[in-house]
């Protein structure tokens, strides 16, 4: 690929004349916006150790009362994007949120989609459009775009969860905003009971659910049981992985980011093919080694790391006796909708 003309090769009066008319020559920047063979990722392989950040999060609980925070969060920011951008990847935002006993995070709704993966503690809940969702370690709770949500805590010890949002994308689209609300009235029943078992959905004679997000809480006990059953029933399956889906349609549970849980059998090593989308790996339980390009991260309980797109990722269980469970968030639904999704089978030049 030959070199193109540089900006400094153009006469200053010509450049000034262009700028004055809001015009820009393409050729000095063409290689930057269209690099050969493979994108130039800002997203860097990055790792956050939970035991290391936990005291700082608890300290935020002493330094900043809820009234002054609304959401008490330490953002897991990727240095490749600049910390102030609060991005883990191009489309993914990650944050560790702390709620102390008796505290309450007021109701609001916003355009970015959020999910929460519960990390530690008991007795907290999120109410989403009137449905009170208990928060227990490993549970996944959805807060889709436009849904009212507030958090409360009736337990005794601090509760922490990982927030995953598509905020960077929605913000970039100039579509990010919030509406404040009043405390929600809690409904008597939950969708979780209506969608008690996969493969069987409520089917009234007249019509099926038209809700875009019929199920809001995916309890860890059920997801873990599904993984263990899959590992037992299909010992040859390449990856013991389940996707969090809409039980009515089987499609990704959220429109922009995809969510799944993966079990590494004792001693197992698994190489995920490079895909166009970035991904986040969060250790629900166990000890996994995550190799991303030339970086190696040793994940323990509640540790998190992120990988840029177009990069193979190798996961290895460090235990010879216990399974390791990972929660994965990726940008695959977004890439598929945009038509830019790729599984990279051969090495990019």
- State the Cα–Cα distance between residues 308 and 43, nearest whole angstrom: 5
Tokens 């235990």 found at? 319
Q: Is 280 in contact with 328 (CB distance < 8 Å)? A: yes
CB of 70 to ligand 1HN, least distance (A): 8
CB of 181 to ligand 1HN, least distance (A): 12
CB nearer to ligand 1HN: give 254 or 313. 254
As measured in angstroms, the least distance from the Cβ of 256 to ligand 1HN is 14
Burial class of 164 by CB neighbour count within 10 A (0 to 12, 13 to 18, 19+)? buried
> Reading across the β-sheet that carries 73-75, which strands appear in turn?
73-75, 93-99, 159-165, 114-120, 140-143, 217-218
| Closer residue to ligand 1HN, CB minimum distance, 108 or 318 | 108
Query: CA-CA distance, 47 to 293, in Å (whole number)?
Result: 13
Q: Which two tokens mark 135?
A: 């928060």
Question: Of the two residues 69 and 239, which places its CB atom closer to ligand 1HN in the complex?
Answer: 69
Structural contact between residues 270 and 241, judged by C-beta atoms closer than 8 angstroms = no
Taking the C-alpha atoms of residue 4 and residue 6, their distance in angstroms, rounded to an integer, is 6
Min dist. Cβ of residue 95 to ligand 1HN (A): 5
The total of other beta-carbon atoms located within 10 Å of residue 290's CB is 23
Distance in Å, CB of 99 to ligand 1HN, minimum: 9
Nearer to ligand 1HN, 71 or 265 (CB): 71
Rounded CA gap, 114 and 91, in Å?
Answer: 12
> Closest approach of Cβ 108 to ligand 1HN, in Å?
6
Query: Which of 15/108 has CB closer to ligand 1HN?
Result: 108
Nearest-approach distance from CB 336 to ligand 1HN, in angstroms: 24
Residues that bind ligand 1HN (CB under 6 A): 71, 73, 95, 97, 105, 110, 114, 149, 163, 165, 167
Nearer to ligand 1HN, 290 or 306 (CB): 306
Angle at 146 between CA 199 and CA 124, to 5 degrees: 75
Nearer to ligand 1HN, 167 or 277 (CB): 167
CB 290 within 8 A of CB 305: yes
Q: Provide the minimum distance between the beta carbon of 220 and ligand 1HN in the complex, in angstroms, as a whole number.
A: 19
Minimum separation from the CB atom of position 284 to ligand 1HN (A): 20
Q: Which of residues 102 and 273 has its CB atom nearest to ligand 1HN in the complex?
A: 102
Residues 9, 14, 19, 24: is their CA dihedral positive or negative? Answer: negative
Given the complex with ligand 1HN, which of 110 and 153 has the nearer CB atom?
Answer: 110
- DSSP assignment letter at 185: P
* Helix, strand and coil percent figures for the chain, each rounded to 5: 20, 30, 50
């Amino acid at each position: 690929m030959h070199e193109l003309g540089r900006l400094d090769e153009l006469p200053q009066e010509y450049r000034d004349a262009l700028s004055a008319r809001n015009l820009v020559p393409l050729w000095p920047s063409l290689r930057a916006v269209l690099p050969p063979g493979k994108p130039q990722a800002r997203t860097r392989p990055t790792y956050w150790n939970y035991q290391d950040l936990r005291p700082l999060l608890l300290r935020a609980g002493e330094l900043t009362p809820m009234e002054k925070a609304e959401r008490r969060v330490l953002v897991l920011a990727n240095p490749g994007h600049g910390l102030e951008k609060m991005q883990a990847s191009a489309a993914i935002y990650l944050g560790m949120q702390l709620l102390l006993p008796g505290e309450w995070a007021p109701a609001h709704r916003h355009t970015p989609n959020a999910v929460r993966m519960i990390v530690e503690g008991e007795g907290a809940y999120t109410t989403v459009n009137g449905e009170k969702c208990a928060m227990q370690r490993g549970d996944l709770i959805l807060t889709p775009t436009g849904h009212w949500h507030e958090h409360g805590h009736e337990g005794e010890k601090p509760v922490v969860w990982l927030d995953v949002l598509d905020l960077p994308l929605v913000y970039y689209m100039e579509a990010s905003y919030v509406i404040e609300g009043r405390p929600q009235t809690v409904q008597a029943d939950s969708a979780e009971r209506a969608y008690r078992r996969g493969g069987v959905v409520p089917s009234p004679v007249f019509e099926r659910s038209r809700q875009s997000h019929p199920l809001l809480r995916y309890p860890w006990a059920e997801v873990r049981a599904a993984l263990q059953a899959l590992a037992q029933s299909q010992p040859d399956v390449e990856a013991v992985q389940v996707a969090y889906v809409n039980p009515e349609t089987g499609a990704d549970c959220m429109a922009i980011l995809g969510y799944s849980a993966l079990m590494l059998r004792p001693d197992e090593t698994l190489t995920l093919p490079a895909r166009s989308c970035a991904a986040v790996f969060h250790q629900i339980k166990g000890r996994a080694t995550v190799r991303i390009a030339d970086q190696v991260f040793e994940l323990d309980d509640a540790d998190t790391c992120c990988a840029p797109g177009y990069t193979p990722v190798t996961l290895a269980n460090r235990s010879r006796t216990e399974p390791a469970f990972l929660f994965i968030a990726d940008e695959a639904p977004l890439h598929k909708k945009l038509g830019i999704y790729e599984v990279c089978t051969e090495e990019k030049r």
